[in-house]
Amino acid sequence: MSPHDHDHDHAHAEIAPSERPGYYDIMETAVRELLIDKGLFGADEIRRQIEVLDSRTPALGAKVVARAWIDPDFRARLLANGRAACEELGISFYDDTQLIVLENTETVHNLIVCTLCSCYPRPVLGLPPDWYKNKPYRARAVIEPRAVLAEFGTVIPDGVEIRVSDSTAMVRFLVLPRRPDGTDAYDEEQLAALVTRDAMIGVVPASIAAGRS
Amino acid sequence: MVNFTHDASGIVLATGEAPLFRPGEAVRVMTRAPVGHYRVPTYLRGKSGVVESVIEPAAIDNEEEAYGRNAGSKRHYYRIVVPMTSIWPHYAGSPADNLRIEVFETWLERIQA
Length of chain A: 213
Omega before residue B57 within 30° of 0, cis: yes
Return the pLDDT at A170: 83
Q: Is residue B90 part of a domain?
A: yes
Nearest to A163 among B59, B98, B104 (CB): B98
Number of domains in chain B: 1
Cα separation, A198 vs A207, in Å, equals: 11
Pairing of strands A98-103, B48-60: unpaired
Contacts of B102 in chain A (CB under 8 A): 168-171
Amino acid at the residue A184: D
Burial class of A36 by CB neighbour count within 10 A (0 to 12, 13 to 18, 19+): middle
Q: Is residue B6 part of a domain?
A: no
Q: Which domain holds residue B53?
A: 26-110
* CB-based contacts of A180, cutoff 8 Å, min separation 6: A194, A205, A206, A207, A208
Q: Is residue B5 part of a domain?
A: no
Q: Is residue B68 part of a domain?
A: yes
ipTM of predicted complex = 0.88
Radius of gyration of chain B (CA): 15
Amino acid at the residue B51: V
Whether pLDDT at B1 is above 50: no
**Edge-to-edge, what's the strand order for the sheet holding B26-29?**
A108-113, A161-166, B98-104, B74-83, B48-60, B26-29, B108-110
Please state, for a pLDDT cut of 70, what percent of chain B lies above it.
Answer: 89
SS3 content of chain A, % helix, strand, coil (to 5): 40, 10, 45
Q: Is residue B8 part of a domain?
A: no
Q: Judge contact between B105 and B16, C-beta under 8 A.
A: yes
Q: Is residue B73 part of a domain?
A: yes
CATH of the domain at B61: 2.30.30.50
Cα separation, A137 vs A155, in Å, equals: 17
Pairing of strands B108-110, B26-29: antiparallel
**Cβ–Cβ of B100/A98 closer than 8 Å?**
no
Which H or E element spans position B49? strand B48-60
Return the pLDDT at A188: 97
Contacts of A161 in chain B (CB under 8 A): 94, 96-98
Contacts of B103 in chain A (CB under 8 A): 169
| Termini Cα distance of chain B | 15
Return the pLDDT at A126: 95
Whether pLDDT at B96 is above 60: yes
Residue range B21-68, pLDDT digits in tens: 999 999 999 998 887 778 899 999 999 999 999 998 888 887 888 787
Q: Is residue B13 part of a domain?
A: no
Contacts of A146 in chain B (CB under 8 A): 92-93, 97
**pLDDT tens-place values along chain A, 213 residues long:** 444 455 555 565 666 666 788 999 999 999 999 999 999 988 899 999 899 999 999 999 999 999 999 999 999 999 999 999 999 999 999 888 899 999 999 999 999 999 998 899 999 999 999 999 999 999 999 999 999 999 999 999 999 999 999 998 889 999 999 999 999 999 999 999 999 999 999 999 999 986 654
**Cβ–Cβ of A162/B41 closer than 8 Å?**
no
Question: What is the DSSP-derived secondary structure letter of residue B42?
Answer: G
Closest-CA residue of chain A to B56:
A98
C-alpha angle A192-A172-B52 in degrees, rounded to nearest 5: 110
Q: Is residue B31 part of a domain?
A: yes
Taking only residues 164 to 193 of chain A, the set having a beta carbon closer than 8 angstroms to any beta carbon of chain B reads 164-166, 168-171
Taking only residues 14 to 73 of chain A, the set having a beta carbon closer than 8 angstroms to any beta carbon of chain B reads none
Which of A111, A140, A143 has the highest number of chain B CBs within 10 A, making it the mutation to test binding with B?
Answer: A143
Amino acid at the residue A121: P
pTM summary value: 0.86
3-state secondary structure of A3: coil
